[in-house]
Amino acid sequence: MRFLVDECVGTTVSSHLKSENHIVFCVFEEFRGASDEQLLQKCFDENYILITSDKDFGEMIYKNKKVHKGIILIRCTPNSFKQKIIVLTKLILNYSDKLESNFVVVSNENVRIIKP
């Protein structure tokens, strides 16, 4: 799968996804300081699913009607790299066919898939 990993998610998560043979664009390493608008546009233009912890993206796509190729919002406790990797691994294993073009909120216990 193709993922764009937001700065707030971290390079450890990005490295893990790469080790699992996903195509990953790491914002911290390659596009640091980019605006949310720029990230969302890059995801759309280059067919990336955005992985973020930033709730502002929900407002961008629902209130402001921004287009996207899929967004995964991580809301886990503790908010550690290790826990993010655990949550994402389960999500990808069980819901990979539902990630594209949807807004997905994932936590330790729940996965909520919101279709456009």
Residue 81 to residue 87: CA distance in whole angstroms: 10
- Residue 32 pLDDT more than 90? yes
- Residue 9 pLDDT more than 90? yes
- Residue 100 pLDDT more than 90? yes
Encode pLDDT of 65-95 as tens digits. Answer: 999 999 999 999 999 999 999 999 999 999 9
Q: Quick one: pLDDT at residue 115? A: 87
At 14, list the tokens: 């990005």
Phi-psi sector, 59: left (phi>0), alpha (psi -120 to 50), beta: alpha
- Please report, for the chain, the start and end positions of each structural domain, with discontinuous segments joined by +: 2-114
Q: Quick one: pLDDT at residue 106? A: 98
Encode pLDDT of 57-66 as tens digits. Answer: 999 999 999 9
Residues 44/59, Cβ–Cβ less than 8 Å: no
pTM: predicted TM-score of the whole model, two decimal places: 0.96
Residue 50 to residue 99: CA distance in whole angstroms: 10
At 85, list the tokens: 């990797």
- Residue 107 pLDDT more than 90? yes
Computed over every residue of the chain, the mean pLDDT equals: 96
Burial of 36 (0-12, 13-18, 19+ CB in 10 A): middle
Q: Quick one: pLDDT at residue 116? A: 78
CATH class of residue range 2-114: alpha beta
